[in-house]
């Protein structure tokens, strides 16, 4: 039972580190996406939107890799793995809840695996929420842009029709004035 509390106490460090690193990554992603959207960069072009989504995905993936590395360092420090490569591999399995089971932690540290899996699953949930928020905004902006053009088309056509009618009316008036002027000159 003592091992359980020790494992939980040790897991608090990478959990808090993960929260901090993912919080920083999320703040970066939100600032970047919001800045690009506010500047008008996003929403209008497929390629620009794809660029934003790609940047968000890469930043999110980097944040997850940092968290996996943090857990790997903890596994290395407690003696759960003999090398960083091995610790990173075990950590990646646990974090993603993949769990091949080809490398097992000692009984003393086995609880770190499920605790890391909880941390990883929660982080993937946050990543999904961030991606959804960015995608939702990009789709909304794209639809607004397209609808604005659809709604402006009849107005543009009406303006064009009025311009043509005004020009035709002006030409008729000019022709009438010329005809009236010719009649006056003839008398």
pLDDT by residue for the chain (187 residues), tens digit each? 677 888 888 888 888 988 898 899 889 888 988 888 788 776 677 888 888 889 899 999 999 999 999 999 999 999 888 899 999 999 999 899 887 777 777 778 888 888 888 999 999 999 999 999 988 888 888 787 777 766 665 665 666 566 666 666 667 776 766 766 676 766 6
For residue 36, give every residue at least 6 positions away whose Cβ sits within 8 Å of its Cβ, in sequence order, or none: 42, 52
**Number of neighbouring beta carbons within 10 Å of residue 140:** 12
Distance, CA of 173 to CA of 166 (rounded, Å): 10
CA dist 127 to 33, 85, 105, 186, Å?
14, 25, 28, 87
Query: CA torsion, points 6, 9, 14, 19, in degrees to nearest 10?
Result: 160
Return phi, psi of residue 68, to 5°: -60, -40
């Amino acid at each position: 039972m003592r091992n359980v509390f020790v494992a939980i106490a040790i897991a608090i460090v990478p959990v808090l580190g993960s929260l901090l690193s993912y919080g920083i990554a999320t703040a970066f992603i939100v600032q970047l996406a919001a800045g690009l959207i506010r500047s008008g960069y996003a929403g209008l072009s497929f390629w620009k939107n794809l660029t934003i989504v790609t940047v968000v995905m890469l930043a999110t993936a980097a944040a997850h890799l940092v968290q996996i590395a943090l857990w790997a360092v903890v596994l290395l420090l407690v003696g759960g793995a003999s090398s960083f490569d091995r610790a990173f591999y075990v950590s990646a399995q646990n974090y993603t809840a993949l769990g091949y089971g080809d490398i097992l932690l000692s009984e003393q540290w086995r609880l770190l695996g499920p605790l890391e899996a909880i941390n990883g699953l929660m982080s993937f949930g946050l990543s999904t929420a961030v991606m959804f928020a960015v995608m939702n905004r990009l789709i909304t902006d794209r639809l607004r842009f397209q609808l604005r053009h659809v709604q402006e088309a009849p107005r543009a056509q009406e303006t064009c029709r009025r311009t043509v009618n005004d020009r035709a009316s002006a030409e008729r008036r000019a022709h009438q004035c010329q005809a009236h002027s010719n009649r006056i000159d003839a008398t």
